[in-house]
Structure 1
């Protein structure tokens, strides 16, 4: 069972945290998927990098399984976040467009009526994100927010997005990228500690969601 972390080079809020994550020890080059998507391996985590918009690569979980024979148990996307407020924010959210009807055209990926299973780590990771952001002095400048689902790409495994918002100034912030990288590093137990939010039915850790707002915003 492996965990996919997905980043894109065309989004600074995606590739910058990925680079910070890859700068930590233990990573090894992995196979190339579809001749264009690079991968790196660290324990049971696979970091994938592609060159398209983050919502444009559907079915990465199934494609990875078909190419490698490794079963994917969750997917985590790194991305930018946009909001009309332009307020700096760090957000987590599930994905899907279940509100769209057949025949509607999803403006930001996915397919009408579809939603990926929510990644059960989201609750405990909101708490961890708040803790790490505080330790890096990003609070109160950055809002820590649980966001509503509103885009793709299509997956079938438990999935979540982790985003940096809300303008290019913040998408490129090194301290924000470091916070997201550390969230993934600690949250998946890559640093040697236990994973946060172990969500097997035998070891499920139950945490309340960190109080947050639902932003009326969109993926950029």
Structure 2
């Protein structure tokens, strides 16, 4: 059952063969020249270099997403909104699902992309393949628009997952490093103090992944789970990671790759035209998870229910809190650390990802000490962020 060196390398050759086949049916020189003119015009109109600083960075990226959203109804071909699926040939758990996805019907060569990247198109879906680490290529949504003239509505990254347990798993999660100070270096991409806009599909696709994995016979061998918000790369549009874990033995598994490809195929509406997890802004409640471990078990108990939407999931390590000084045995003074900033930018990013929704915090109560829980609940009340119980998130529509 386990695939080792040869099988782990096979997906890459499949993608190369498929790419050559698609390129043979691709556009001629006139199409390449037209794309080049579009790219040059987009580059000339590109925004100025972003200023540094956490809150400023977040505001720019959030407004960039809102500007892209407002263009969705603009009507011109250059304003067409597309969805970007990103894979890297350097990761078997990324290129394997990409190869299985490309083997499904409807694909054709995508527009020429600089920097040695390859692209493929299927309806409004674009698959972009590069050679570097999946967390190393920042701003692929913006760079795609500059190169092609197509505005990106969301980005889905395919990646490997690692875990100390080494247990096989399929995971999905939002990204960001909102807890890091400006003088800290993110270990896996992103920018200190930044949280990506979470893709609304995270909750619905977590449930879809459970169904697909069960249908494909991966359960109970594979665990299907959410992960907390972590790592990069930088993006400006709604983003999520879909991963296969947790060791080399499983990263190259063809059955796991096929399951991820089916989640993409069904979830993006390429099978029957009905996408899973499309946010319509109809006022539903959205869970902002605060506290708990990396796999967010208390929050996942809620998100597993039909109709629940989820944004950022902040585990304990994303809420660094400095204990206040003790006076006569009692805590006195403010609780220091980046925890307030982490909550604030994650809340704002979740609101941006779910316009028209009501973002409600859900606390993993047992994961906090008394002084931590008191500080967090007081801060949420000051920010007018509602704290919800499990039943507050349940609704009838997915």
Larger helix proportion, structure 1 or 2?
A: 2
Aligned to 1:209: 303
Task: Say what the alpha-carbon RMSD is for the aligned residues.
Answer: 2.3
- Unaligned 5+ segments in structure 1 are none
Q: CA deviation at 1:118?
A: 0.5
CA shift at 1:150, angstroms?
1.4
After superposition, the C-alpha distances for 1:45-64 in whole angstroms (9 at most, x for unaligned) are 00000000000100000001
Higher RCO (C-alpha under 8 Å, 6+ residues apart) = 1
Q: Distance in 1 between matches of 2:82 and 2:93?
A: 24
Q: What is the 5 A alignment of 1:77-156? A: 77-156=157-236
Once residues 143 and 29 of structure 1 are traced to their aligned partners in structure 2, the CA distance between those partners, rounded to angstroms, is 35
In structure 1, the partner of 2:379 is: none
Instruction: Report the Cα offset of residue 201 of structure 1.
Output: 2.2
Per-residue deviation, 1:202: 5.4
CA distance in 1, matches of 2:224, 2:179: 25
Highest Rg: 1 or 2?
A: 2
Alpha carbons of 1:71 and 1:96: their partners in 2 closer, same or farther (altered >3 Å)? same
Task: Report the Cα distance in structure 2 between the residues aligned to 1:80 and 1:41, rounded to whole angstroms.
Answer: 23
Shift of 1:193: 3.2
| 2:231 aligned with 1:180 | no
Instruction: Name the count of aligned residue pairs.
Output: 216
Displacement after TM superposition at 1:206 (Å): 8.3
State the TM-score, normalizing by the size of structure 1: 0.92
Q: What SS does the aligned partner of 2:142 have?
A: helix
Q: In 1, are the aligned partners of 2:87 and 2:130 still within 8 Å (CA)? A: yes
Helix, strand or coil: the match of 1:77?
strand
Displacement after TM superposition at 1:75 (Å): 0.3
In 2: Cα distance, 1:127 partner to 1:204 partner: 17
Structure 2 length-normalised TM: 0.52
- Unaligned segments of structure 2, at least 5 residues: 1-80, 288-301, 306-313, 317-398
* 8 A Cα contact 2:229 2:315, kept in partner: no
C-alpha offsets along residues 157-196 of structure 1, whole Å, 9 cap, x if unaligned?
A: 0000000000001000000000000000000001123000
Within a 5 Å distance, the mapping from 1:1-150 to structure 2 comes to 1-150=81-230
